[in-house]
Every structure is written in C-alpha cells, then in structure tokens.
Amino acid sequence: MKMFTLILSVIVGVATAHGQSPLEFTVRLTGDAMQTGEGAFSLTDHSLTYRVLTPLPFTSAEVRGPGIDGPIIFPLDLRGCQAPGPGFPGECVFLRTGAGAITLTDDQVEQLVGQQWHVLAYSESRNIEGQILLVPEPPVVSIVCMAAATLWVLGRRKRFGFQSAPHRVNGRS
C-alpha cells in the first residue's frame, strides 16, 4: 500500500508540475553572411524573457511576425557587445529577464506558440534571421510511465537481487 501511495503521489506531482512549466523556444539566426547567431525565449503565462547572441557587427535586432516580412513586434534590447580577440570574432548580447519580461497579448501568445515569429538581426550591410521555434516537451504520459517504472523497480529490488546493507544499531546487525 505504501508503494501504491508513493507511485500515485509521484504521478500526480509530475502531471501537475508539467502543466505549470514555462514554454521554451529557440532560434538559430543565419543568412548570406557566414556568421550565425542563436537565442532562447521563455514564455510563462503572458511574460516573455529572452537571451539572443549575435556575432559582431549585428548590433540591432527585432522580433517580427507573423512571418519574416511581418511588422516589428518589438525590438530586442542590446545589453552589450564584446570586442573581437584572438580566435574570438566578438558577439553582442540581447537580453530581457525577470522583472524586465515583456507582457504579451493573447494574440501574440498564440502567434508565438504557433511559431509565426522571426528574429531579424542586422548591421549596415547584412542581415541574419531565424524562425522562433517551440522546443518540444516530453509528453506527460512518457514522464509518468518512466516514474512508475522506476518506482516499480525500486519496490522490487530484492526480487532482482539488489539488497540494501544490513542496518546496524550500536555496532550490531
């Protein structure tokens, strides 16, 4: 009965936690330049945070949608650039986190989850761009099955020959 209660608790906990987690997105920026950029976005309810890295000279960037030719939804906030050095081409960081999160409307959330947004980074003469893609979450059923199987194996460890060391009290078994 203890094992059943434990398994049930884990299943309920995993299923509940899954529904409360933020949605994660990724973007890979490419273009006719040989340079690329990358980024991650996180959506919790209607609050969006991001971190996008671009190589120099791409010091301006924005989110557009729906589609790459859509209007500018918002510019990305440039936090700073690191100068090139030996073996390092330099890069710029666009960042919005925590209290600085962007609040999206219901329509904007729908477009973002529908993967209709793009990031465009540009310099005076070149552009790189990429579609913001939803990172797939593992299905709840898979997580629950893995948790149940793990707990079942732990509950049957004696049957499989796994036994814990004898407990000693005051130096005696």
89: domain CATH number is 2.60.40.200
Can you give the pTM of this predicted structure? 0.70
Residue whose C-alpha is closest to residue 119's, from 45, 46, 38, 57: 38
| pLDDT given at position 89 | 85
Q: Which residues of 42-75 are buried (b: 16+ CB within 10 A; e: fewer)?
A: bbeeebbbbbbbbbbbbebbbbbbeeeeeeebee
The count of structural domains within the chain is 1
Q: Which residues of the chain have pLDDT under 70?
A: 1-20, 33, 139-173
**Is residue 150 one of the residues assigned to a domain?**
no
Report cis status (omega within 30 of 0) of the bond before 86.
Answer: no
| pLDDT given at position 4 | 52
Give residue 43's domain range: 22-134
**Is residue 75 one of the residues assigned to a domain?**
yes
34: which DSSP letter?
Answer: S
| pLDDT given at position 137 | 78
One-letter amino acid for residue 3 of the chain: M
| pLDDT given at position 47 | 96
